[in-house]
Amino acid sequence: MKTFLLTATYAVGIGELILAIYFWVTNSKNEIRRVMSFFAFSTGLWVILSVLIAYKPPSDFVLLINKYVYVFGIFLVTSFVHLSIIYPIPIVRFDRLHAYLLYLPTTLFSVISICTDSIVSNTIGGNNNVGVPIGGSIFGIYNIYLAILYITGVIILLFQAKRTDGDIHKNLMIVVWSFIIGGLPAVYIDLFGTTFHLVSPNYLIGNIATAVWLGSTSYILLKRS
């Protein structure tokens, strides 16, 4: 089981990085594709860094990588919200200033994660688990903010779907359900599991599940191209 999880997680992460490159090189001037590229890039690195420290004993290296896991974790959820705001058309006027404001808290959390032990203070590792973090003083605040971002993104997509019809409505509902189905395992494991120490040795399932939302969203965007 461990070998399967490691192999599948690496495959998902590499696939997501390939998607990121594809969306960028094909048309990075298109805002939706640019955000999709950043979304796939953040998700791919979150997945690969997570599996890189899987089943490793605690060390300074594992702790450092785990801090970056939480950096790319918050960037992927923020870019999901960004995508939901502008896809298929912006629900509000969303210029560069609004984008900076959206990513400002994410950037602050990222700096805190890298430079301090306030989000991740240590890790639990070894043969029976996957580098489970021990939260720092604002670990709970970080997790609450991530949950708010995730729920906000889903709500905005539902709003986008409600005001559309035909194929656009069907496509948006596919995206919505992909984020619910593909996101809930990661939300449960990374938010509730790590907070209340409910994580099982199979927590990489949360990373593998990201293939659902990125695969579905990529399919819809490519179909519209």
Domain CATH code at residue 191: 1.20.1070.10
pTM of the model: 0.87
Pairwise CA distance, residues 152 & 191, whole Å: 16
pLDDT, tens digit, for every residue of 87-144?
A: 888 888 888 889 999 999 999 999 999 999 999 998 876 666 666 778 899 998 998 8
The confidence band for 224, taking pLDDT boundaries of 50, 70 and 90, is low
Q: Quick one: average pLDDT of 50-57?
A: 84
Q: What residue type is assigned to position 89 of the chain?
A: I
Check residue 193 and give its pLDDT: 57
Per the structure, the count of domains in the chain is: 1
Lowest-pLDDT range of 66-70, 153-157, 199-203: 199-203
Query: And the tokens for 179?
Result: 């984020």
Read off the pLDDT of each residue in 203-213 and give the average, rounded to a whole number: 78
| Percent of the chain with pLDDT strictly greater than 70 | 88
Q: What would the mean pLDDT of 167-183 be, rounded to a whole number? A: 85
Q: For 28-38, write each residue's pLDDT tens digit.
A: 788 899 999 99
Q: What per-residue confidence (pLDDT) applies to 44? A: 93
pLDDT score of 205 more than 90: no
Domain encompassing residue 27: 2-224
